[in-house]
Structures are given as C-alpha cells and as structure tokens.
Amino acid sequence: MAAWTSLAAAMLGTTALPVMAGTPAAASYDERPAKLEQPTAYRDYERRSVDIPMRDGVKLHTVILVPKGAPMPKGGAAMLLTRTPYNAEEMTSQHASGRMAISLDGYDSAPEVVAEGGYIRVVQDVRGKYGSEGTYVMNRPFVGTSLNPTKVDHATDTYDTIEWLVHHVPESNGRVGILGISYDGFTALAALVNPHPALKVAVPMNPMVDGWRGDDWFHNGAFRQYNLSYIWEQVGTRDNSNKYEVTEADAYTHFMRYGSAGAAASAHGLDQIGFWQKLKAHPAWDSFWQEQAMDKILAKAPLTVPTLLVHSLWDQEDIYGAPAVWKALKPQDKAGNLFLTMGPWFHGQEIERADTLGAVRWDADTGKWWRAHVLAPFLAHYLYDKPMDVGTVTAFQSGTNRWQTLPGWPTAPATAKLFLHADETLGFDPSAKEGTVDYVSDPAKPVTYEPRPNKLVGYEENPWPTWLTDDQRPVSGRPDVLTFTGPVLDKPVTIAGTPIVHLTAATSGTDSDWVVKLIDVYPDEVPGDRAMGGYQLAVGMDIFRGRYRESLSVAKPITPGTPLEFTFDLPPANHVFRAGHRIMVQVQSSWFPLYDRNPQTFVPSIIDAKSADYVKATQKISVGGTNGSYIALPVVP
C-alpha cells in the first residue's frame, strides 16, 4: 500500500500524504447525497407524487401537478385525469423544464390546453404498471363478466381515484375531467361505467374499443402480428424493461423466417405471456371479445357524462373504436351528451402539429385548430361553466381540406353502388358483361402493406404513423393486385360515412383473406405540389378473413371454386374526390407483414399454421351483371 501511495504521489508530482483520521472508508466513498432534493422554486407548478388506495387496498401511483404563480380560478381549479399503463412519472416530466406546459409536452396531454386552461393535471399508473401495486391484465375486463373474477376494474379504480382527489386536493373545484389516447382512451371510456358524480366530462381519443373487429389485435379476424413486440414489452414486465429483440432490419424478413405468427411468438418467448395465450385461444369474435367490447358495454346504460369522442381518419392503430362507440350510443343519447370529432390525423396526432400526414398537406395545422376551437372550449364549458360553440360533430373534409360542423354522422347512407367492371374500370352503373377478373395469390410472395424494408412499430424516424396515407402505386402493377380505375371526374364526388364492400369472389383454396382499398388518384401533375402528381391516396382500406364470411364467431372453410359474397365495412371517410381526379379500387389477398398470412388452406388455427399449409390460390372476382362486385358509397347528393 505504501509503495502504491508513493507511486501515485510521484505521478502527481506531490508528496504522499497519510490518510487522515475521519476520511470515509473506500467502501462508503460516494459523492452523491443520501437523498437528492430537486430545487423547485423556479417551477410554475407544484408536483405531488402520491399512492392512492383503492377499495381492495391496492395503491395506485399518481402524479398531481398543481399550477402556481397565477390566479387560481374562483372556487378552485378543475382536475384533468389520465389513467395510463405508460409511466405516469415520465409522462409528467417529458422535458427538463420548470414550466408545467413543457413538462407535459408529450403523450396524451395537449399541454397548451392544460396549462392555459388553469387545470390541475393528474396522471396515474394503472394496476400492475410502473409505480402502481397490483396485477396487470391487458384491457382489464369489467366486474360482473365471466372474464373478471375480482371486484375491481378500471371503472372502480377510476371512481376510487376521483373520490380521493376531490377530498385531498384542496386547490380543486371538485370537478374532474378525464382524457387519454389509445389505451388511455380506453380507460377514459371505462370511467363512464357507473361514473363518479364529480366526473363532469370525458374525452376518449383514439380509444381501444374492440380488439377483434378492428382495433389493435385483429381486423375482421386477420391477426396483426406487428403487435407481438407490444405484447411482450407491455405485459412481460411492470416497467416495460424487457425489449422484443430482433436480428433482422426488415420485418418482412423477420416474419417470413418464422412462417406463422405463432412460431415467431414462441421463438421470442411470448408463450410465457398470459394475454398471448388468450389471443391464441380466441381467434374468432367469440364471447371473450364481445364481453369486453366497449361499445357493447357502454350501450347498456344511458350516457350521463358529456363525452367528446375523437377519431383519426387515418388511425393506423385504433381506427375502429371511436366510430363504433358513436354508432352504439348516439341513437339513445336523448340528453345530447355525446359529441364526435373526426380529424385528418394518424393515431394521436391531434395533440401534435398536424399540417401534413405523410406526403399529404392539409393547408393548415389541423391539430392546433382543433385544440383551440373544440377541445379547449369543450373542457372549459363543463369544468368552468364557460360558453361553448362546439357542434355535435366536427369533421375534417379531406379533398377540400376544411372543417365542417355537422348535426350528425354519417351524413349520407351507403347506397351509391360503385361497380367493378371486367376491363378493370369502375362505374356507378353495372356493366352488362359478366365474368371474372383473376389473380394468383402466393403466400410465399405476399403483398406488403408498405414498401420494404418494413420496420417494426415505432414513432421515431419510422414510417409507421403515416403508412395509411402511403402512395399505393408501388403495388398497383403487381400481378396479384387487381386495380380498377374510374374515368377522370368532371365534377366532384363527395362521400361522408362508411363505405361497404360487397365482394363476390371465388378461391381455389379453402380459406382466403380479402383486402380492399378505396383510393383517390390525383392528376398526373398537381400545381404547387409536384410530389402529389399521380399519387394514389387510400381514403379507406381494410382486410377481411374469409373463414368468417358466415359468422364472425365461428370459422368455416370456404367451398373451393364457388362464388360467395364477402361483405365488410371500410373505415369511415369524409372526403371529396375532386374534379380531375379518379376513383380507384384495389383488391388483393395479403397485407404483409402487418397481418399474418392466410395459408389459403383451412386450418383450425392460422396463428399456428405449418409450412405445408401455405398454398397458392387462384382468386376470381366476379364483375358485371346482378352478381358483380361493388362498393356501396355514402355519396352526398
């Protein structure tokens, strides 16, 4: 030791000094304080982290941000609550700033609305996630269903949370609003089941509603295998610390390597995950899905809390949910509590800058306009009794790129038939010539949902958020994609509602997927926007798994070679096909790697299909005459 001390002293050019009495031992030597105190005097808010007890004793971690330094509204400030599985601490400290609006500048918050409105912001971790105690169950089913043997759910937890808040936040005026996006939109809807009397307003944005019909997990029976990574990370650990690891830069290569979604899941450890086992066990729309579909649950009782549903017209994750809740609840909404916004956004873009969506320009920041003219006055009306001029439906009309205030939705029934013709044209009159247009679907060479390389889901430097507005020209020339194109329009065609596919088709296989796209084809040249020349913008597109043609809850094989009708909805659209544009319809049988491949052989479980099950199939689309295929469009006269 003495030699080392002398050597160190020599290297430093100093005389070795003896160790003085009172110097900390090496094992306890640490320059950090025992507890770091964050200076807060410069903040324009006070931050409180509390653990709120629920009725069963489980404590849920909750962050409360109370504005300070500005006059408190008379009678106190209203509280805006979000319940999330995405880390309340992080969501309330997005950036290192002493300003509340900057700290909230991230997921779910619409920070300028929160800060300028003088709200107390409350964000809570749901059971089993991050700082909260208890167990985690994906979209925890409600008490009273066969899927939940306990006495707690998101509705009871929300009720207990609000009860605590109104008694323990003295700056509050006793009124609470709830808002959230995606999963947090689902928890906002859950708050409407037996709501607390202090809950005065709800804004579910892009909510998860029915995971089988058209939100995160399936679309009409086709499995969204891209969500394997989400399931692994979200359910596997309390803090999402274990990541779904891949060795391929291209998701196409990744999923083709394993063959089926089940094989990919097993190789990546998902067989340990309870929710994955439930997905595998319930590939059809059976009672498991129906009992937890939020539109069905909410339709059982009158809506008593004023609610603004927010839908993104190009929502790449939850495009089914908000319109489904609107459709289920509005007919019985005698009190006028239900409102709807439909914006030209991807999933959650309403709280971001939203003047573009991929290559498409909207001529203005549509998110900023909506927050200022709809969200802010809506919340202030019900939480502070301020006047409000918000229509029942606020809808962005793409094509003309303008906001509309409408008395209801849809504004037109889907009665105008757009027929597919034998020469691969389109028309609102059926062609006299009957026949089929054929293609061969090969699972070994599936049609991609966007050009390769395909990245897994992500929001940083990833095309995932905007893929629904991708140019469809890259697949238009494929021999396994049928492209039907209408004439150049001499006058606009306006649609406002849900297009309905009526596809009459036969397959040589015993199962098949059908993907149908309704497309706006831009003129070959667009003045002032050369990138849009000839662009093929999908106005609505979706997939249907053929085995559910007769019943969504029971899979049945398709009779080979027999023309059958497959009917399904495309997502709602509020669009004008302008004069000089053309309408296009594309039909294909795969949408990979977003959805798992249909083997085109009927097997009990496509998720666990074997390599021998995947076969080529000849697909014949019936056109012309009374049995020809068409899309029923909600054309506005």
177 and 86 housed in the same domain: yes
**Cβ neighbours, 10 Å, residue 14:** 9
Structural domain contains residue 343:
yes
Q: What is the mean pLDDT of the chain?
A: 94
Structural domain contains residue 30:
no
Structural domain contains residue 465:
yes
200 and 89 housed in the same domain: yes
271 and 314 housed in the same domain: no
369 and 456 housed in the same domain: no
On whether the CB atoms of residues 480 and 279 are closer than 8 A, the answer is no
Structural domain contains residue 22:
no
Give me the pLDDT at residue 444, please: 98
Of 287, 305, 337, the residue that ends a domain is 287
Which domain range does residue 275 map to?
218-287
Structure tokens at 239: 């803090």
Please give the average per-residue pLDDT across 528-549, as a whole number.
97
Which band of pLDDT confidence, cut at 50, 70 and 90, is reported for residue 8?
Answer: very low
Please give the average per-residue pLDDT across 373-388, as a whole number.
98
On whether the CB atoms of residues 386 and 241 are closer than 8 A, the answer is no
Q: What is the CATH number of the domain that holds 541?
A: 2.60.120.260
How far is the C-alpha of 446 from the C-alpha of 256, rounded, in Å?
10
264 and 353 housed in the same domain: no
Which band of pLDDT confidence, cut at 50, 70 and 90, is reported for residue 71?
Answer: low
258 and 199 housed in the same domain: no
Please give the average per-residue pLDDT across 354-360, as a whole number.
97
Please give the average per-residue pLDDT across 612-635, as a whole number.
96
441 and 578 housed in the same domain: yes
Q: Cβ neighbours of residue 136 under 8 Å, at least 6 residues apart?
A: 85, 126, 127, 128, 129, 235, 238
Structural domain contains residue 15:
no
Structural domain contains residue 248:
yes
Structure tokens at 15: 């005389």
Q: What is the CATH number of the domain that holds 385?
A: 3.40.50.1820
Q: Are strands 360-361 and 393-397 parallel, antiparallel or unpaired?
A: unpaired
Structural domain contains residue 455:
yes
> Got the DSSP string for 318-365?
-SSHHHHHHHHHGGG-TT--EEEEEES-STTGGGS--SEETTEE-SS-
Give me the pLDDT at residue 28, please: 72
**Angle subtended by helix axes 274-281 and 228-236, to nearest 10:** 140
Of 372, 388, 406, the residue that ends a domain is 406
Structural domain contains residue 1:
no
Please give the average per-residue pLDDT across 386-402, as a whole number.
98
CA angle (237 as vertex; 321, 218 as ends), nearest 5: 30
Structure tokens at 309: 């549903």
395 and 422 housed in the same domain: no
Cα four-point dihedral sign 449, 242, 51, 91: negative
Of 267, 287, 307, the residue that ends a domain is 287
On whether the CB atoms of residues 325 and 300 are closer than 8 A, the answer is no
Per residue in 295-322, pLDDT tens? 999 999 999 999 999 999 999 999 999 9
What stretches of 191-285 show up as alpha helix (H) in DSSP? 228-236, 251-258, 261-267, 274-281
Q: What is the CATH number of the domain that holds 256?
A: 1.10.3020.10
Q: Cβ neighbours of residue 22 under 8 Å, at least 6 residues apart?
A: none
Structural domain count, the chain = 3
Per residue in 262-303, pLDDT tens? 999 999 999 999 999 999 999 999 999 999 999 999 999 999
What secondary structure letter does DSSP report for 71? P
* Lowest-confidence segment of 26-30, 131-135, 503-507 by average pLDDT: 26-30
341 and 469 housed in the same domain: no
Structure tokens at 42: 């410069």
Q: Cβ neighbours of residue 426 under 8 Å, at least 6 residues apart?
A: 418, 419, 420, 484, 485, 486, 583, 584, 585
106 and 195 housed in the same domain: yes
74 and 151 housed in the same domain: yes
**For the whole model, what pTM was predicted?**
0.94
Q: What strands lie across the sheet with 482-485, from one edge to the other?
A: 482-485, 582-588, 513-521, 536-545
Give me the pLDDT at residue 363, please: 93
183 and 332 housed in the same domain: yes
Percent of the chain whose pLDDT exceeds 90:
88
Which band of pLDDT confidence, cut at 50, 70 and 90, is reported for residue 75?
Answer: confident
